[in-house]
Copies of this chain bind each other. A is one copy, B any other.
Amino acid sequence: MKNNVKIFRVQADLTQHQLAEKVGVTRQTISLIEKGKYNPTLKLCLEICYAVNKTLDEIFWVDQEEI
């Protein structure tokens, strides 16, 4: 599951730990999502969106062929 979490997290000047706190998960969960090793739930995706002020499409959209 490729995504742009890392790009926008850094752009928002947040560490993994800070983002994790803001969205209510652990640092490890953020790390694994950034690495594409987790298939996060919609609720967590939305929390990340709010935290870095981006939309679902901006952070999590991937075309059908490359899912």
Contact = CB atoms under 8 A, between A and B. Distances in A.
A52 B25 CA distance: 31
A37 B60 CA distance: 22
Interface residues of A, number: 18
A46 B43 CA distance: 14
Contacts of A50: 64
Nearest to A46: B67
Query: Chain A interface mostly helix, strand, loop or mixed?
Result: helix
Contacts of A61: 46, 55-56
B43 A42 contact: no
A32 interface: no
Closest 4 CB pairs of A and B: A56-B56, A50-B64, A57-B57, A39-B43
